[in-house]
A and B are shown apart, each in its own frame.
Chain A
Amino acid sequence: MTTSRKLPDTYNVSTYGDGAEYDYTSLAAWEADTDTDLVAAGAGEVLDVAEGGYDDSAVVAGAVTSSTLFRVIRAAAGAENRCRKDAGARFVSAVRNLLIQWDEAYGGVYDLGLCLGARNDSSWRFLLRLNAAYARAAGCFAYDSVNNGTGQMLGIYPRNTAGISCVANCLAHNVDRGFYVDDVGAGNTAYMYNCTAAGCTYGVHAYRGTVEAKNCAVEGNDTNYYAAAGAAINKTACTDGDGVVFEDQQSGDLHLAEADAAARNQGADLSADPVFAFDDDIDGDTRNPAGWDVGADEFLFRESLADGVFAVDAAHPSVQAPPLKMSFSAAVPSAAFSALAPSVAFSCRE
């Protein structure tokens, strides 16, 4: 698998959470401590955010980085947000004006939930702003952030002026402007790959610059795509209100539903993309090489079963029982299981 959560070649890991057992309880403290010459040190810095909701923010800027040595803020293993509003690692604030701003070249923000709640004033706020070349976000979920006044909430916001920003496998739900692009410098482009926006005022809003959107599911927003004068949104294999069926769009579970036909297997294979190659999805699952889905989620049949011996048949097309996980290396239509009679027994062990 080629992950969209790119990491430094070598790195130090610090822990973040709510308790004295963690290295950090403040993003800004980690940021200040790791604002160093990472190239001279020969190691990047990664912050693992534990399960929980945190009222916190940081501007990440100043470290000396390279394409192989940079900083990352990510959900700790097992705390990935996975499009959940009430679980996973997430930054939630009712008083702050930003959550994460990335102002240094390279780096990544992965698998975090981001929410600034409802406001009623004239301020513009943003949840995640990628304000530097080669800053990346993957697996992040911007949600429930609206300004009922004249101000705006900007969800995931590439704004670099000197290079490429890439956002992959990210989602926005119930945000004024789910994905917003501004000030992408002359000749530069913001890349949005396999992202999903639903229930927003604007799904994808390009104010200035060019957005190269591939495999994006943009559905059920007041305006799905909006490019201001002089801006452009180039779409490849994207949906635009095409009737994608999510698990529960109203509540914000933007995983694809089994009933969907508009997004499943309709995407382009980006595993060899020259700008940002990857083949995983919001859940960290490998995308189906026989047909990528559009949006952040690659649909998988899922069923949780206890360890042991059980039947895999039409009623149990796939098996997942943590820590055990069984998947199929190629697409298997559910109808194929109907041919398995009376049933096939798999013995599953850790």
Chain B
Amino acid sequence: MVVEFLIAAASEPEPWRKKEGDVICARPAGRPWGKKERTAGLIVRARGISLEDALSLAGPHYDGGVVSAKRRHAIPLEEIRAGWLPGMDLSRVRDRSDDYQPLLSAGVVVDFSEPVAVCFDKRRGRFKYEARRRP
């Protein structure tokens, strides 16, 4: 299964709103993205993860049946750049007027089965793996 994540490209100041790197949504790869989505964030194609697990990374965190965090997981842009695409221009990623999707253009597929830091659990404050991927 190849999935795609939409990752927030910029942070909102209020604590409960999206932060850079937040996983906004996940879905099977291959469907087109909308006009405003292509400039709203970074599209990350990934393998080594089931659709159900990908959806859970995009879901909220509940405490006692109440949403305590709308977005619990993040894929930090710096990790993506350092580990998979060193040439990625973060200023262009953050520019909402720029239809810039460097990972798709370069054919990069992030592999979640690699035991390296990819997805950050904001509630626990840690990556699943500590090792950094550096090509």
Complex-state Cα separation, A25 to B36, whole angstroms: 9
Would you call B63 an interface residue if the criterion is a C-beta within 8 Å of the partner chain's C-beta atoms?
no
**Residue in chain A with minimal CB distance to B35:** A23
Mask for A278-297, Cβ within 8 A of B = 1, else 0?
00000000000000000000
Would you call B31 an interface residue if the criterion is a C-beta within 8 Å of the partner chain's C-beta atoms?
yes
Would you call B70 an interface residue if the criterion is a C-beta within 8 Å of the partner chain's C-beta atoms?
yes
With A32-B18, A61-B67, A95-B52 already in contact, the answer to whether A23 and B36 are too (CB < 8 A) is: yes
The answer on a CB contact under 8 Å between B25 and A21 is no
**Neighbouring B residues of A163 by C-beta, 8 Å:** none
- Chain A: interface secondary structure? loop
What is the size, in residues, of chain B's interface with A at 8 Å between Cβ atoms?
Answer: 29
**Neighbouring A residues of B35 by C-beta, 8 Å:** 20-23
The answer on a CB contact under 8 Å between A28 and B25 is yes
Q: How far is the CB of B122 from chain A (nearest CB, A)?
A: 15
Q: How far is the CB of B80 from chain A (nearest CB, A)?
A: 18
Would you call B14 an interface residue if the criterion is a C-beta within 8 Å of the partner chain's C-beta atoms?
yes
The answer on a CB contact under 8 Å between A59 and B6 is no
Would you call A33 an interface residue if the criterion is a C-beta within 8 Å of the partner chain's C-beta atoms?
yes
**Neighbouring A residues of B37 by C-beta, 8 Å:** 23-26, 29
The answer on a CB contact under 8 Å between A29 and B6 is yes
Would you call A302 an interface residue if the criterion is a C-beta within 8 Å of the partner chain's C-beta atoms?
no
The answer on a CB contact under 8 Å between B6 and A62 is no
**Neighbouring B residues of A325 by C-beta, 8 Å:** none
Complex-state Cα separation, A103 to B25, whole angstroms: 18
Mask for A259-280, Cβ within 8 A of B = 1, else 0?
0000000000000000000000
Give the contacting residue for B36; candidates A14, A28, A35; CB below 8 A. A14
The answer on a CB contact under 8 Å between B33 and A62 is no
The answer on a CB contact under 8 Å between A28 and B58 is yes
The answer on a CB contact under 8 Å between B31 and A62 is no
Would you call A307 an interface residue if the criterion is a C-beta within 8 Å of the partner chain's C-beta atoms?
no
Complex-state Cα separation, A28 to B59, whole angstroms: 9
Would you call B27 an interface residue if the criterion is a C-beta within 8 Å of the partner chain's C-beta atoms?
yes
Would you call B93 an interface residue if the criterion is a C-beta within 8 Å of the partner chain's C-beta atoms?
no
Cβ contacts A to B, 7 pairs, < 8 Å: A16-B34, A24-B36, A26-B25, A26-B33, A28-B25, A35-B17, A36-B17
Supply 15 further A-B pairs (C-beta < 8 A) apart from A32-B17, A32-B24.
Answer: A16-B34, A21-B35, A24-B34, A25-B31, A26-B25, A28-B58, A29-B6, A30-B36, A32-B8, A32-B22, A56-B25, A62-B17, A95-B51, A103-B67, A131-B67
